Structures are given as structure tokens and as C-alpha cells.
Amino acid sequence: MYKYLLIAAIFLIGMVGCENSSEPTGEFGTLKMYLVDLPSSFDSVVVSVKQVEVHSAGNGNSGWYVINDSLRSFDLLQLINGASAVLGDSVLLAGLYTQIRLVLGDSNYVVDSGTKHNLTVPSGMETGIKLNHSFTIEPNTLYELLLDFNVDKSIHITGTGEYKLDPVIRIMPLEISGSISGQVLPVEAQVTVFTTTGLDTVTTYPDHDGFFKMMALPEGTYDVKIFPENVSYKDTVISNINVTIGFDNDIGLIELSTN
């Protein structure tokens, strides 16, 4: 009798062990997301992000996965000309993902001409800003995404002076993109530098030494256009600039001609 009870107990222990070891054990890769910004006419734009999530398309694990859940604030206008901030960094099950969701905090504001204004997030975005972008996490591979926030297109001032956020964000995998950099002088020309990729315009302003960088450009050939605010200088176009995946094309010094 005791012999049979012992056998039954061993069998039950074995079953419990099997149940504990039956949790999903897929292969994993890593997702890393960076936040950058296009320059703006505002003095400062601060956005607080309390959670970053991605949505799985299947593989038996459909649903939202948290990439980062620590509350952080970003001054978007500091993230230009090659500067970036890590928005999320996490290990994920390998597979297809179809959406990104940014859940914002309450401390969002704009400084416009020296005056601080609260930045209103529409009620429809209380559950998060959803961005449609399909990507595949491969096993044992790092997948990097750049989220390019267009502040001037994202912030709207109402007739009552309220500042509202309607995000316009361009998403580009770093594995299929490159960049263009250079220097424009003289600095007093106060130039805007831009190029186009498809229907998107990528714009930047040189720093106090005239250096600029346009990031996350798909591989291809571009024309870089330079428009001075100072009317004493001529508009300039640098044509046929090649962008190669994973590389920065430094086009060097561009000296503007006077009118």
C-alpha cells in the first residue's frame, strides 16, 4: 500500500514540475527606441512620458508589452542636430509587432517667447498616443527605432490662446537609414536647412557654430536646401547628396554668398 502511495506522490510531483516548466519559452531580441525632434520656433517644449508600450501581432502572445514605465520629461528642442534620448530599451519575444503607444504624464508645457503655457493633451489621447508601425524582432538581434517629433506640426494654438498637442511623429528604423551633416557659415545668416523624403520634410537649424545634422534619412539621393533668414545672403541648394545605410555623409563647409 505504501509503495503505491509513494509512486502516486512521485507522479504528482512530476506533474507539478511539468506544469511549472510549461511557461512560454520563445526566442528573444532587443528593441531600443530613440526620441529626436525637428527644430521649432518655440523656446522650449517639455513632454512627460510615463509609459512606452509596443503591441504584438501574434505568436500566441498578442497584447501590449511595456518597454519603459518610468516617468521622464524631455525638452524636445534639446534633441536636434544629432542629439537624442533613449525612449525605451527592452528585451522582447521575437516576432511581429504592429504599434507603439506613448502614455503621457501631466507635466507637459511650452515656453513661447519667454512665457510658459500648459500643453493640453486631447481627451482622446488619455489612453496613449498610438503610432502604427510594423517591425519584426529577430532572435538575438538589436532593433533600433528613431521617433522624430515634429513640434511645429504637433502643437496648435487655439483662438483662446490654448496650446494643444496633436502629435506628428515620423518613425524610421536606424538599420535602413543614414544621415547628412555639415556646416553653414556665416552664422549671422540664420539659416534653415531642410530636405524631403517622400511626403516628409526633414528640417534643422545649425547650432551656434553653424553645424547641422539631419538624421534617419532612408537610403537614397537628396537635395539639401539652405534658406537664410538674413536677406543679405542667397539661398543655396546642394544637390545629389547620397545617403547610405548606417553612415553619415558629411558635406563639409558651405559658405553662403551675399546678395
Q: Which residue, chain included where needed, has cell 555623409?
A: 249
Please indicate whether the domains covering 25-167 and 178-259 agree at the CATH topology level: yes
pLDDT at 16: 37
> How many whole angstroms separate alpha carbon 166 and alpha carbon 155?
6
pLDDT surpassing 70 at residue 7:
no
Q: Stretch 68-96: mean pLDDT, rounded?
A: 91
Choosing among 1.10.1060, 2.60.40, 2.40.50, 2.30.30, the CATH entry for 25-167 is 2.60.40
In terms of Cβ atoms closer than 10 Å to its own Cβ (0-12, 13-18, 19+), residue 187 is: middle
How far apart CA 89 and CA 92 sit, in angstroms, is 10
> 178-259 is classed in which CATH architecture?
Sandwich (2.60)
**Contact by Cβ (8 Å): 123, 165:** no
pTM > 0.85: yes or no? no
Over residues 61-90, the mean pLDDT reads: 89
pLDDT tier at 15, thresholds 50, 70, 90: very low
Q: What is the pLDDT of residues 192-245, one digit of tens each?
A: 999 998 888 888 889 899 999 998 899 999 999 999 999 999 999 999 999 999
The domains of the chain are located at 25-167, 178-259
Name the band, by pLDDT with cuts 50, 70 and 90, for residue 126.
low
**91-117 average pLDDT score:** 93
